[in-house]
Amino acid sequence: MTTNIFPAIKLTIVTLIFFGVVYPAMIWAIAQLAPNNGQGKVINADGKKYYANVGQKFTEDKFFWSRPSAVEYNAAGSGGSNKGPSNPEYLAIVQARIDTFLVHNPGIDKKDIPVELVTASGSGLDPDISLKAAWVQVKRIAAVRKASEDKIIELVNANTEKPLAGMFGPGKVNVLSLNLALEKL
């Protein structure tokens, strides 16, 4: 029995030291090489500090809406809902989001709503939406702000992040950056 216990204790101690001290120190050191020392992209606007890499909640008609969050955009505990597509409670939540979107965006057909505007991301903190999700909201925002749709589309295009190397992944729009630019109009 002692031939198994002592190696197990040694392995436990080595594992605790590695994963409790060495590994976190390595990750911290690597983060120091990243922009803003791994703290994320910080945006200061109107005396407030925002993190562009964490989703923000926008529900007013004058703003582009973010992707829904299962954790209410709380960066302290990211996560999805863990409910499958056949779960009645999940389906009711998605249907309520669809109904809300259609009320605030008259003239849009249900089939034209991008899925990311009615389903939460896996982390609940996704800061970006697709170009289609931005374009489908243009008419509402232009009407509320009494601006031309062309001006709003121009703003969306100016705030579009192109795919990596022009070919890896889709174009996307950071909702916070876009809404801050919208406020400057």
Give 124-146 pLDDT, tens digit per residue.
788 889 889 999 999 999 999 99
The pLDDT value recorded for residue 37 is 75
Q: In 3-state terms, what secondary structure has residue 182?
A: helix
Task: Taking the CA atoms of 18, 22, 24 and 27 in sequence, report the sign of the dihedral they define.
Answer: negative
pLDDT in tens, 44-60: 777 777 777 788 888 88
Taking residues 78-103, report their average pLDDT: 87
Structure tokens, 80: 């999805």
Residues whose CB falls within 8 Å of the CB of residue 24, separated by 6 or more in sequence, listed in order = none
Percent of the chain residues topping a pLDDT of 70 = 99
The pLDDT value recorded for residue 121 is 80
Residues whose CB falls within 8 Å of the CB of residue 30, separated by 6 or more in sequence, listed in order = 38
pLDDT in tens, 98-128: 999 999 998 899 999 999 899 888 787 888 8
- Residue 20's pLDDT band, with cuts at 50, 70 and 90, is very high
- Residue 43's pLDDT band, with cuts at 50, 70 and 90, is confident
Taking residues 25-30, report their average pLDDT: 91
Average pLDDT, the chain: 86
pLDDT at 151 over 80: yes
- Cα–Cα distances in angstroms (integers) from residue 146 to residues 31, 34, 96, 101, 164, in the given order: 44, 41, 28, 20, 35
